[in-house]
Amino acid sequence: MKNIQTRKTIALAMTAAYILFTGYCLVTGKNIPVEFTAIVGPVIGYYFGKSTALEMPEQK
C-alpha cells in the first residue's frame, strides 16, 4: 500500500511541476525543453496506467 502512495505522490508532484513550468514558459515566451517533457510524460503515464490496471477487476 505504501508503494501506491509513493507513486501517487510522485505523479501528482510531477504533474504540478509540469503545469507550473509550462505556464512559466508560456508567460516568458520560452520554449518548453524537450527533455523535460520526455521525462515527465512517461512518469505520469506510468502512474495513471498502473492505477487504471490496478482498479480493473481481474477478468477470467
49 in any annotated domain: yes
Q: What are phi and psi of 4, to 5 degrees?
A: -65, -40
Q: Residue 21: CB partners within 8 Å, gap ≥ 6? A: 32, 36
22 in any annotated domain: yes
17 in any annotated domain: yes
| pTM exceeds 0.75, yes or no | no
Highest average pLDDT, of 1-5, 26-30, 48-52, comes from 26-30
pLDDT tens-digit map of 10-23? 878 888 988 999 99
pLDDT tens-digit map of 44-59? 888 777 666 666 665 5
35 in any annotated domain: yes
29 in any annotated domain: yes
Number of domains in the chain: 1
SS3 (DSSP) at 1:
coil
- Full domain range(s) for residue 26: 2-55
60 in any annotated domain: no
36 in any annotated domain: yes
